[in-house]
Amino acid sequence: MKTTTAVGAAAALIIGFGAWYWLGNTAVESPAPLTADYKNATYIIEGQPVQLVDGRAETAAAPGSASTVATQYFGNEAVGDLNGDGLRDIAFLLTQDPGGTGTFFFVVAAIKTADGYQGTSAVLLGDRIAPQTTEIREGTLIVNYAERRPDDPMTAPPSVGVSKYLKLDVATMQFGEVVQNFEGEADASKGGYCTADQRKADVCTQDYSPVCATVNIQCIKAPCNPIQQTFSNSCNACKNSLVSSYLVGECK
């Protein structure tokens, strides 16, 4: 089943270090109801409200269809203030299994209010990606993960690092993506994502130039957060197919 995400408002807003454009649906959904537990909140996924119960939901694939779409809490939580009210909101990943071979990953947030949590619209990350870390930094939601190259088969492990920067529009409870320009890109001397050449290396040198790598674990049951592991150098780290990125220096 192919999942698509419609791009919202056509105008791009220029803010800070890049362009901010809306993700999700052009139609503004009614606000999701409040709940005391964010794993029981309602989130808008592909324009449809999905009510979680203990982190799970099953909805009909189509009106009158016997097939169902399973939505489940995955993890990779981040806690911080997304709307500037001083309260601690929670962002995390959801997966959706439409019954075929795909497993689609979304990021959502539960916005804390005095009366409970309100769910946001979801942002599609991709099919069978490799989640890494999620963080909230100065009101911006940052999701790091690896995906496949456009010409890679789905059997290939995700190897292309992606960092998605999102800002919340409180009025619509939808996220807009902040697109970084080249000046905002990471300093390669401090680390980076594994390249195709590093993946293909037959032999690595024995010099000790340690790196702290993000290792995606083989997931059996969510949450499946990646782990940090020290390797002797970046070559040895990237020969591991589960490693997607690394920072220079030993893991703390």
Cα–chain-centroid distance for residue 204? 32
Give the pLDDT of residue 231.
94
What pLDDT, in 10s, does the model give residues 72-83?
999 999 999 999
Looking at this protein, which amino acid is placed at residue 153?
A: P
Give the pLDDT of residue 9.
38
* Positions of the chain with pLDDT under 70: 1-32, 179-191, 217-225
Closest CA to 233 of 215, 214, 206: 206
Measured between alpha carbons, how far is 26 from 44 in angstroms, rounded to an integer?
13
Alpha helices (runs of H) in the chain, residue ranges in sequence order = 196-200, 234-238
| Contact yes or no for 148/241 (Cβ under 8 A) | no
Closest CA to 227 of 243, 215, 241: 215
Measured between alpha carbons, how far is 249 from 198 in angstroms, rounded to an integer?
18
Looking at this protein, which amino acid is placed at residue 184?
A: G
Measured between alpha carbons, how far is 232 from 142 in angstroms, rounded to an integer?
28
Contacts of 151 (CB under 8 A, 6+ apart): none
pTM higher than the cut 0.75: no
Q: Around Cβ 183, how many Cβ atoms within 10 Å?
A: 7
User: Which two structure tokens, joined as six digits, stand for 226?
Assistant: 């990646």
Give the pLDDT of residue 187.
46
